[in-house]
Structure 1
């Protein structure tokens, strides 16, 4: 098979700073077209890297028979619309997270992938971190035993991205830190638990820092700030998930709250062992010969996890690699997020079907 000919739809910050450097390094990928609703932005990138064609309408990309796959890096609202159209046009699809802004759209994406026979993969870069790969092996080899409870989150002191822009506009984003950061750490945790099915969810959301202009997080640089823009999403969400195997998971995600410092974390408790992962630092807790033991593994610095995820997408298409992500897992993720928002609205636990 020749190089995978790729069309990119959406050329904002996540593409320029994360996707593009990885794609340019891969010998089996050729970026042949860029698309953006502001074509001048895409043209600058195209000129710099010798990319042949720039479009304003994504359907012009999908109409090309010589494009094998698309990489979708638009605001969240458009992920499902473009992914479904691309799959129906016979293209493989890689999409930035979140999969969609609601479960109905995520289900349509899954159905389009199944009917087209094409690969649909959504960014799950945290699965490809070196520490995550290590913990997955520890879990699969049975060192944790029966995993029955956990906690996960990503909390910031002041790190609201693109305030007033699409990140903080519910119509375009689907929500705040829950849908922005929650996809990352909930997915990683559930994956490490062995992908049990969620059966019920409860949660709360808060918006307390919409007027704040302070930032201490580099992540606040994502998106374009608009001083007169909209802020109608939460800045903190917490919740609780029950799974079909009896396990449970607590969670917390914030763009802004009065804490010591930003961190992302996963903690799991098993009958043989447990662990705490904070950023890239792991501590394992177990017992040996009747003695409680703390183990502090030294894992090499993470590879480019975003790039590794993109390269895995290529391997699935070109070399029939077993996909580490399935659209069914994506649908479960969006069901969880939908249910937390619904529980926060109603004050009641939500049961999933």
Structure 2
């Protein structure tokens, strides 16, 4: 069987760190073309990995009839534009998160995927972590009972990525840590809960550390910093999500705040059991034979799941698996994030 030919748009840090090696390692794909507005940088990557063709305009890339898959790792603003164009050109699309910067754009992506009959998948790497797979099975097999409330977040002490660049420029990014980090942990929590439909949100956003130059997080290395550049996004967001089945979820995401240390967490509570996942440390809380018990599963870690997500996408394209993620879930995610920003602006709960 001939390999699927892949063309990548956007070859910055996320592509180099999480996508590139996955495409090269997959036995069913061949990375044949790269596209980036930074010609010097993209030519360097192409030379290092023997990739023949380089483009500066994604439209020229999409004009190639031999490409099967387009991988998108551009600044957030361009995700929807390129994805819709690629789907209309008859390509399958794998896109870095977030899906889009507005609900309307996420809807356009989902509609384009449906009309084209091609696979559209957006990075949801946390679903592929071994601990997440364990929790999903634990809940689906009824061990949690009714999973009715919880909280999730990713909070940093000082970890602003690419300050002054596209990360902190709302026009390009769509927002700060809520859209950057929120996609990860909200998605993980909602997926484990069984993807209940969100019906309303309430939230607040704050910008208190735009002037700081301190960093204690490796994640602040993402993006290109620009002295004197734009910083018009939040550095902390908090909120509350209600779902159609009555479940609720508290959220908090920050690039900078006065806490002890950077932490990622999901905590969910059910009628039979609950769990706390803090970074990679999982604990279950339940009752056994009339006794309250704390259980710490011994799960072998498998990294952050980026490669597994891409390999799953390839299996879906080849008809070997059903998609773990659907464009409709992406629409729900961007509706949640957009409504939290709107709630912060209006100072009231927003119905979805």
**Shorter chain as normaliser: what TM range?**
over 0.9
Which residue in the other structure is 2:267 paired with? 267
1-structure distance, mates of 2:40, 2:90: 28
Which residue in the other structure is 1:7 paired with? 7
Which residue in the other structure is 1:316 paired with? 316
2-structure distance, mates of 1:40, 1:109: 31
1:65-84 deviations in whole A, cap 9, x for unaligned? 10001000000000000000
Q: Report if aligned partners of 2:126, 2:304 keep a CA contact under 8 Å in 1.
A: no
User: Following superposition, which runs of at least 4 residues in structure 1 exceed 6 angstroms of deviation?
Assistant: none
Which residue in the other structure is 1:68 paired with? 68
2-structure distance, mates of 1:139, 1:165: 41
1-structure distance, mates of 2:129, 2:187: 13
For residues 54-133 of structure 1, what are the structure 2 equivalents within 5 Å?
A: 54-133=54-133
2-structure distance, mates of 1:104, 1:278: 33
- The change in CA–CA distance for 1:187 and 1:304 in structure 2 (over 3 A counts) is closer
1-structure distance, mates of 2:212, 2:178: 19
Which SS does the other structure have where 2:200 is aligned?
Answer: strand
Which SS does the other structure have where 2:315 is aligned?
Answer: helix
2-structure distance, mates of 1:278, 1:108: 35
Which residue in the other structure is 2:223 paired with? 223
1:244-265 deviations in whole A, cap 9, x for unaligned? 0000000000000000000100
Which SS does the other structure have where 2:318 is aligned?
Answer: helix
2-structure distance, mates of 1:185, 1:4: 31
Q: Does 1:146 align with 2:146?
A: yes
TM-score by length of 1: 0.99
Which SS does the other structure have where 1:137 is aligned?
Answer: helix
| TM superposition shift of 1:302 | 2.2
Which SS does the other structure have where 1:319 is aligned?
Answer: coil
Which residue in the other structure is 2:232 paired with? 232
Which residue in the other structure is 2:173 paired with? 173
Moved more, 313-322 or 109-118: 313-322
1:251-280 deviations in whole A, cap 9, x for unaligned? 000000000000100000000000000011
| TM superposition shift of 1:284 | 0.1
Query: How many residue pairs align between the two structures?
Result: 352
Which residue in the other structure is 1:161 paired with? 161
For residues 248-287 of structure 1, what are the structure 2 equivalents within 5 Å?
A: 248-287=248-287
| TM superposition shift of 1:87 | 0.1
Which residue in the other structure is 2:199 paired with? 199
1:199-225 deviations in whole A, cap 9, x for unaligned? 000000000000000000000000000
Which residue in the other structure is 1:338 paired with? 338
Which residue in the other structure is 1:39 paired with? 39
Which residue in the other structure is 1:182 paired with? 182
Alignment RMSD: 0.7
1:11-64 deviations in whole A, cap 9, x for unaligned? 000001111122211111100100001121110000011001000000111100
| TM superposition shift of 1:320 | 3.5
Which residue in the other structure is 2:307 paired with? 307
| TM superposition shift of 1:304 | 4.9
Structure 2 portions without partners, runs of 5+: none
2-structure distance, mates of 1:320, 1:112: 23
Which SS does the other structure have where 1:181 is aligned?
Answer: helix
Which residue in the other structure is 1:347 paired with? 347
2-structure distance, mates of 1:285, 1:300: 20
